[in-house]
Amino acid sequence: MTERSEPHPPLGSNAQTLLRCLISSYFIAGAIGLIPGIDLLPLTERLLPPALSGPISATTIFVLAYMVMIGIWLRGAALLLGILTFWASYLRMMEQGMGTDLGVFWRDLALIGALMLTYSRSRGNSLLHKTYGRELKAPNLASPRDQLSMEEIEELFQEDFEHARAG
């Protein structure tokens, strides 16, 4: 019996596609009104007139979930959908009180976790990472003699941090 060197083997492309379809179908069904689901109304109500907040909310969820489902801009769409879901759910919970919406908020966090799992376990299977059937690979530009010491890395980080802080 041989042991695998990987403690957790990556999901296969079929499993990854099935998970994307399952998660996205929930968001899409909620966006088109088939089930009570995630809505961005707590966010859009604050920015848009009432007549536009509902359609913009549903369209945003539908488009992002569809992008996750078909694998276009998979990581960005999953991350954005997760962040928007979290903030909308948090705002709704704060409006209505924690006791009544704790279960809904917890469900939203579980969905966000599923989206982040999709994001973190993706191995570049989306359409943007492939060109005419072959995967693009980044060249290895660093040679062993170009590697920096820990002190040099910390110094560069500090310089970048100070530059970002300044403006």
Listed in sequence order, the DSSP H helices in the chain are 13-31, 41-47, 50-70, 74-96, 98-121, 150-166
* Burial state string for 51-73 with b = 16 or more CB within 10 A and e = fewer than 16: eebeebbbebbbebbebbbbbeb
Tens of pLDDT along the chain (167 residues) come to 455 555 555 667 787 888 889 889 999 999 998 988 788 888 898 889 989 999 999 999 999 999 999 988 888 898 899 888 888 878 877 777 765 667 777 787 788 777 777 666 555 554 544 444 455 555 555 555 556 677 777 777 677 767 666 76
Q: Record the pTM.
A: 0.58
Q: How do the domains of the chain map onto residue ranges?
A: 13-135
